[in-house]
């Protein structure tokens, strides 16, 4: 288990992802803390097979692989869309719903068709994010955050990435794909997991005490 000084101002962190959208969003979250982020892709680190059966398990798997491969602290995100009427699908298989090319236009169409097949009328959904932090010595920690809302069809907005154009968070009219990125970041499942992780693992003054 990582201690409360796992991250501090001046830390360098590998974001264990080849998804530039995720890398950008996470990098923006860490910037105010003075933590420098580099992507696994820029370090030519391989992407491990995601064999876990939960978001937390897959996040830990990716964080450990990046920490071992880089010799640095690593952070991994595993996240996805869970649609209540579909029994939680696509869930941990959210990227796979896009096929070999991870085509999210196709993935969103699949969600729409699957909901239609249920008879429609019940489109409650949530995004879930698990953030795992791992050290090269094998110590780790993981936190999960969720944001609830509903599925919108057809897709709206060209901002964000993944399923953002079909997800409307509770209390709002815009999809994540339409929202100003700063507002989306404040509301997102990723932010909620991030706040939990930083509260437990960040030393404000860089103290190792």
Catalytic pick from 77, 78, 89, 140?
78
Known catalytic residue at 139: no
State the Rg of the chain over Cα: 17
In whole angstroms, what is the distance from residue 197 CA to residue 133 CA? 8
Distance CA 6, CA 198 (A): 9
Burial class (CB in 10 A: 0-12, 13-18, 19+), 191: middle
Q: Considering all CA atoms of the chain, what is the largest pairwise distance in Å, rounded to the nearest integer?
A: 58
∠ Cα 86 185 7 (to 5°): 110
Catalytic residues: 78
């Amino acid at each position: 288990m990582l201690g409360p000084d796992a991250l501090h101002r001046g830390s360098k962190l590998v974001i264990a992802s080849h998804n530039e959208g995720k890398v950008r969003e996470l990098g923006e979250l860490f910037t105010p803390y003075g933590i420098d982020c580099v992507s696994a892709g820029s370090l030519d680190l391989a992407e491990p097979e995601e064999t876990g059966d939960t978001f937390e398990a897959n996040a830990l798997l990716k964080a450990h692989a990046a920490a071992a491969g880089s010799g640095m602290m690593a952070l991994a995100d595993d996240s996805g869309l869970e649609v209540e009427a579909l029994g939680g699908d696509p869930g941990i298989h959210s990227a796979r719903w896009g096929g070999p090319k991870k085509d999210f236009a196709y993935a969103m169409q699949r969600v729409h068709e699957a909901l239609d097949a249920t008879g429609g009328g019940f489109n409650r959904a949530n995004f879930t994010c698990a953030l795992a932090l791992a050290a090269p010595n094998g110590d780790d920690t993981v936190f999960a955050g969720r944001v609830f809302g509903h599925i919108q069809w057809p897709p709206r907005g060209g901002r964000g990435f993944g399923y953002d154009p079909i997800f409307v968070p509770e209390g709002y009219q815009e999809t994540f794909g339409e929202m100003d990125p700063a507002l989306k970041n404040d509301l997102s499942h990723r932010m909620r997991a991030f706040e939990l992780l930083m509260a437990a693992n960040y030393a404000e003054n860089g103290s190792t005490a």
